[in-house]
């Protein structure tokens, strides 16, 4: 039987013998004391909440969180949202899985994105900033992960190649915008944008699903990247035999540590330089637009002008293409 993707499910549809990834699971109790399983099922097209009534703790314990299951059941509409009711379920060996069915990927040519990224980074004029960037670019294992990594586990650019795509978007914006502000260093902005999320190559795991690694949970990508700058500056010193300028190093580390913009959103520091505040807003612009556009493209109800309410954005998204100028692409 051909793979049936979550994004294609219709309310009332019966599903037989399909494989999905269990993103999360929870054993809950109804008001009358019966146990049921609440889970989130995923594939490359999206995710859907699922329930299995009259469950048992024994069955619950057999289901792998972050692993794969074969199931049958039906899709249904619940308060305007799709959910899946599981009738039967069993774990399945990863060796039988085609992972391409479960990890969303960028539609862009990642090698072309990386080539353009290098073209922009080569325009950095300051020899010390260029030398630091060179230490990262020359780390083949790191760049392999950089080209594969998502930019986030959920929300924006949450797909294979998403980090490279997101980073290049930011560099392209900077090349257009920053020259209008001659007091702002384009060299520092380009280096900062390239490095601001590079710690996500260690923070996130993307083998069978997008999840946080132990270093990701314990340290986070801001700290990871700032520590790597220390390491790469030391490598640059060994290469040249000269001390790396401390003020350049800490300025770039500040950019990394402050790019979320506020304590509320996880920045240990508030942007305190023109370059840092520019990077925060450029980063936020691309992340938000990718999120809004993604919600419009993936919305199931093609007849509605609005998406469902998104609690992270705090709003529904208005989908109507009032000028008829949006490209018509598949979700």
pLDDT at 179: 97
61 and 22 Cβ atoms separated by less than 8 Å: no
Please, where are the H alpha helices in 178-266?
A: 186-195, 200-203, 214-218, 221-240, 246-258
Q: Are strands 46-52 and 35-43 parallel, antiparallel or unpaired?
A: antiparallel
Question: What's the pLDDT band for 230 if we cut at 50, 70, 90?
Answer: very high
Question: What's the pLDDT band for 331 if we cut at 50, 70, 90?
Answer: very low
In tens, the pLDDT along 116-133 reads 999 999 999 999 999 999
Separation of alpha carbons 179 and 174, rounded Å: 8
With a cut of 60, say whether residue 329 has pLDDT above it: no
**Residue 91 has which token pair?**
């774990």
Residues in the chain: 331
Q: Are strands 204-205 and 211-212 parallel, antiparallel or unpaired?
A: antiparallel
pLDDT at 148: 86
Helix (H, G, I), strand (E, B) or coil at 49: strand
CATH entry, 6-100, from 2.40.50.140, 3.40.50.2300, 1.10.10.10, 3.30.1020.10: 2.40.50.140
Name residues whose C-beta falls within 8 Å of residue 272's C-beta, 6 or more positions apart in sequence: 254, 258
Task: State which H helix or E strand residue 58 sits in.
Answer: helix 57-62
Separation of alpha carbons 154 and 223, rounded Å: 20
For the whole prediction, is pTM greater than 0.95? no
pLDDT at 46: 80
């Amino acid at each position: 039987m051909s793979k049936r993707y979550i994004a294609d499910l219709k309310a009332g549809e019966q599903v037989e013998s399909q494989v999905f990834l269990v993103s999360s699971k929870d054993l809950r109790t109804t008001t009358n004391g019966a146990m049921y399983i609440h889970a989130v099922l995923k594939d490359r097209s999206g995710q859907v909440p699922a329930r299995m009534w009259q469950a048992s703790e024994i069955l619950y314990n057999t289901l792998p969180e972050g692993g794969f299951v074969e199931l049958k059941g039906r899709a249904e509409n619940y308060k305007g949202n799709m959910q899946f009711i599981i009738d039967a379920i069993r774990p399945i060996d990863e060796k039988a899985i085609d992972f391409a069915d479960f990890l969303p990927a960028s539609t862009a040519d990642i090698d072309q994105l990386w080539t353009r990224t290098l073209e922009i980074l080569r325009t950095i004029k300051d020899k010390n900033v260029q030398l630091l960037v060179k230490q990262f670019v020359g780390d083949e294992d790191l760049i392999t992960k950089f080209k594969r990594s998502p930019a986030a586990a959920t929300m924006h650019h949450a797909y294979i190649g998403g980090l490279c795509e997101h980073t290049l978007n930011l560099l392209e914006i900077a090349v257009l915008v920053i020259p209008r502000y001659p007091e702002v260093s384009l060299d520092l902005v380009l280096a900062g944008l390239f490095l601001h999320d590079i710690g996500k190559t260690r923070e996130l795991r993307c083998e069978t699903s997008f999840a946080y690694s132990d270093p990701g949970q314990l340290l986070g990508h801001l700290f990871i990247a700032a520590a790597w700058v220390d390491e790469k500056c030391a490598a640059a010193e060994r290469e040249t035999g000269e001390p790396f300028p401390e003020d350049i190093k800490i300025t770039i580390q500040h950019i990394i540590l402050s790019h979320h913009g506020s304590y509320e959103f996880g920045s240990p520091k508030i942007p305190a330089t023109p370059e840092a505040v520019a990077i925060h807003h450029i980063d936020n612009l691309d992340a938000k637009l990718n999120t809004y556009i993604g919600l419009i493209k993936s919305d199931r109800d093609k007849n509605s002008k609005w998406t469902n309410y998104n609690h992270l954005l705090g709003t529904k998204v208005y989908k109507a293409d009032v000028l008829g100028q949006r490209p018509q692409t598949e979700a």
